Structures are given as structure tokens and as C-alpha cells.
Chains A and B, each alone.
Chain A
Amino acid sequence: MINLIMKDILGSPAILVGLFAFIGLLLQKKPVAETISGTLKTVMGFILLGAGAGVLIGSLDHFGAMFKEGFNVDGVIPNNEAIVALAQQTFGTETALIMLFGMVANIVFARVTPFKYIFLTGHHTMFMACLISAVLVTAGVTGPILIIIGSTILGLLMVLMPALLQPYMRKITGSNDIALGHFGSIGYFTAGVVGQLVGDKGKTTEEIRVPKSLGFLRDTSVAVSLTMAIMFFIVSFAAGPSYVESELSGGTNFLIFGLTEAIVFAAGVYIVLAGVRMILAEIVPAFQGIADKVVPNAKPALDCPVVFPFAPNAVVIGFLFSFFAGIICMFLLPIFGLKVIVPGLVPHFFTGAAAGVFGNATGGRKGAMFGAFTNGILISFLPALLLPVLGSLGFENTTFGDSDFGIIGILLGGFAKLFM
């Protein structure tokens, strides 16, 4: 019986999260049909996560092999969805528990401290819970202590990061109604500071005419396929047709194989995203519902595209300069003895764009350019520095993308080493 509860229920993240959703739906007194479908979909979400991980590993393995053959160094692609899907296979239960109690801690901190923020970007809460589990377990923290420390840290981050950005958010939105809840905060904060130092906020980006043709990059599937296709073509050429066709593709033409594998990777991300969406669908509304009742006057901390409409030109400029920094860093990293981080369009688009908006708010055009450029450097170096902290997870050719995951992972790994 104990074995059933401990191992088969609590030890199986899909069932555990399904149980949370079931209890949540019961407490909200939802109709039976909704309770059943909500519970089933949550479990299915976790199963999709595992299925997506399988697809991603296949493609990443081939990428890693070609990169190594072609350049004689390891290349790592930062992709939150990929690393989280992989990590679920080892740290699934820890992630689920830290995420749940982290959300509870968020409500408690918002209630008792002056930082009245409710962090509603559910997928980032989940990614951060996963990072915290991976780093702490690798450092040797386990059991109830892991869950208590982990969820406290997560809850703190969920109020402190939006609080750090709020002075800039007031400048950007011209009001104090919404906050930014996205774990690229360090990059945005730095962009705001850099903008203040180098720029002139009178010369805003919004007076410049920028072509609208980059809009298609907002579609994640398109952006991922495109980056990966370019990257796979580069490594396929570097590794050479004879290596690819004899060792990996089973005779299929090396370029066709590269293109297929790029789209396989994008398909893996798509499956994982569908899973994450299903898991969050029942949990986030329940979280907001509770927060509304318990924390009066709380501000919702929302996903980063919330700032995009306030400075659409800074979005495009920010993306370009962040990506530009990523490409430069790709060549700089090996000089410092670090693993090569392959710049991805998705992290550079979303966090680069938001950094551009922050830079523009404090330093106009120059602020947007230099602010986003700094963000690009951060999201290249931080993932590389994070790799050793992730332990065995770090060998999978992928890592976390956004800046806070890097900073928090490195700090947490360092602290854990001191005390364990």
C-alpha cells in the first residue's frame, strides 16, 4: 500500500499532477464532465511531454554528432521546452511538487510582503521549478527539504523578479496596472540600465520606419524550423556528406536529412508545447481564482509579449541586435573555454524583443540597440556557464535559454556546493 502511494502515485508525475488537477476541480465544484476531462487532459499533457522529449532527443543526437564531426567541439542548443521535457524523465515528481507549492508560496509572499505580484506565466513557473529541481538534486538535496527549499525559492522569484522590473514597466506602459512575469528579467533589467547609460529616451524607436516582414517569426513553429534548418545545413556541410550518409542518415542525401531533422526538432517542440498547454489549462485559472480572493490589489505578472504593443519597432530592433550578439558570442565562447551555444531564433526573438522595449523606454534607439545586444550576450554566456551545474542533464546537447534560468541555476548550484 505504501509502495503504491509513494512509488506509483507520488513517484509518477503524470498521475500526481492529474491528482492535483482533480482535487482543484473538485474544490471549485465544477460539473462532473469538466472534472473528468480536465483531469484526463492534465495527465495526457504530461504524457505528451515525454513523447515530445523522445522526438527531440533523436534530432539533438544527430545535431550533436554532426557538430562534433564538423567542428571538433560540442555545440549546444538552448531550448527551454527541450531541456524541460528531458528533465521530466528524471525530475518529474520534484518539478510537479515544487511548482505546486511554489505557486502557493507566491500567493503567501504577495499577501504578506509589499511585492503584490501574482506570476501568471505558467510555463515559466514550470520551467523554473524544473531548473531548481535539477540543480538541487544534482547538488545532493533530496526529500521534503528539497521541496520546501525549492518552492520557497520559486515563490520568492515569482514576486521579486516582477518587482525588479516594475519601475521600467511603469515607464513602458504608462500605468501601474500590469507587471512582467517572465524569467528573462535579468536581461530586461540590464537592458533598462544600459539604455539609461548610453541612450537618450527622447529619440524613441517608434519614429523609425521598420519593415513588418519579420512578423512571421512570432510563430514559434516557423521560427524553430527556420533556425534549425539553417543550423542543420551548416553542420551537415561541415560534417560532410560521406559522414552523414554513412553514419547517420542510412544513405539519405545529407541535405534532405538535415532539413528533415530540423523539422523533426520543431515538431518535438510543438508536441512539448501542446503538453505544457494541457497541463497548465486547469492549474493557472485555479491559481488566479485563489489569488484574486486572498490577495487584494495584486498585479498580474504576465508573459513578455505583453510589452510588445507598446513599442513595435523596438521589438524588431531588439530581436536583430540580440541575435547579432548571439552570433558573435558563438565564436567567442570557445576562446573562454566554454561550450558553443548555438543562437536560437526563439529566445532571441522573445527576450531580445522585450529587452529592446526596455532599452527604448530608458534610452530610445541607442538604448534599444545596446540593451538588446547586452541581452544577447547574457543569453549566450549564461547558458554556457549553467551547463556544469545541470550535472548529467548538461550532456544532452541542450540547456535553458532565458537569462534568469542561467543566473538562478549558477547561484543556486554555488550555494548548494557550499552547504552540502
Chain B
Amino acid sequence: MKILVVCGNGLGSSFIAEMNVKKALAELGIEATVSHTDLTTAKSEAADYYIGTPEIVDLLEDGTRRIIRLVNLFNVAEIKKVLQQHLEV
């Protein structure tokens, strides 16, 4: 399973969020590949799930991608909650 964390620039926010997603996955005991990128690249990069703040990932929504919306990219508790909902564990 591959999870892609997306932000506008693909440098700062998504990177820190990626580390938090990895932390959350480890606590949930789920194995997945996590990486981060910018919006443009995300459109051409295949992943099982795309995570980001609503205003960013809404631009990726085209009916085929599995999108996970997150208000606070830096809150591990919130990340764990949304991951649990979407990954059905």
C-alpha cells in the first residue's frame, strides 16, 4: 500500500506530515510506503491514498483517487483517527 502526502510546494508541510503519518501508521501497526510531493506531481503519481489539507486534496478529487482530508497535518492523534476510518482497520 502506498500513501502520498500532498501540499502546494511538496517541501515543508507535506514532509513533516509524512513523518507524522509514518508515526501514526507505526502506532496502528500498519505497513505502508509513505512519501510526499507537490500538487502537480501528485496528479501523475499513482498511490493508493492521497492525504492533505482539504483545499489541496480537493484539487486532486476526480472520482478515481482515494482522498483523505486532514485539517491539522501536525496532529498525530487526528491522523490516526482519519487513517483508521479510511483504511478500515
Contact = CB atoms under 8 A, between A and B. Distances in A.
A285 B72 CA distance: 19
Given A309-B53, A309-B72, A123 B10 contact: no
A59 to B, nearest CB: 18
| Residue with the highest number of chain A CB atoms closer than 10 Å, among B16, B37, B55, B71 | B16
Given A218-B56, A280-B15, A300-B74, A305 B38 contact: no
Interface string A174-202: 00011000100000000000000000000
Given A280-B11, A305-B7, A219 B59 contact: yes
A245 B56 CA distance: 40
A227 interface: no
Contact of B16 (A120, A216, A218): A120
Contacts of B9: 220, 273, 303, 305, 350
A288 interface: yes
Contact of A221 (B36, B40, B56, B59): B40
Contacts of B71: 309
B24 interface: no
A79 B73 CA distance: 26
Main secondary structure of the interface of A (DSSP, over half): helix
Nearest to A276: B11
Given A305-B7, A306-B73, A306-B74, A220 B13 contact: no
Nearest to A270: B40
Contact of A219 (B13, B40, B53): B40
B16 A302 contact: yes
B11 A277 contact: yes
Contacts, number: 84
Nearest to B73: A306
A122 B13 contact: no
Contact of B40 (A121, A178, A222, A306): A222
Interface in A298-343: 300, 302-306, 308-309, 312
Contacts of A9: none
A383 to B, nearest CB: 19
A220 B10 CA distance: 9
Nearest to B70: A309
A306 B39 CA distance: 16
A215 B19 contact: no
A305 B38 CA distance: 13
Interface string B1-45: 000000111111101100100000000000000001111100000
Contact of A218 (B36, B39, B73): B39
Interface residues of A, number: 35
Interface in B32-89: 36-40, 53, 55-56, 58-59, 71-74
A219 B39 contact: yes
A182 B9 CA distance: 14
Nearest to B58: A215
A187 B13 CA distance: 20
Given A270-B40, A303-B16, A309-B53, A218 B8 contact: yes
A234 interface: no
A170 to B, nearest CB: 15
Closest 9 CB pairs of A and B: A303-B12, A218-B8, A219-B39, A221-B40, A123-B11, A121-B12, A305-B13, A303-B13, A220-B9
Interface of B: 7-13, 15-16, 19, 36-40, 53, 55-56, 58-59, 71-74
Interface of A: 120-124, 177-178, 182, 212, 215-216, 218-222, 270, 273, 276-277, 280-281, 284-285, 288, 300, 302-306, 308-309, 312, 350
24 contacts: A122-B11, A123-B12, A124-B12, A215-B55, A218-B39, A218-B55, A218-B59, A219-B38, A219-B59, A220-B9, A221-B38, A221-B39, A222-B40, A273-B11, A273-B38, A277-B36, A277-B37, A288-B19, A302-B16, A303-B11, A303-B12, A305-B8, A308-B53, A309-B72
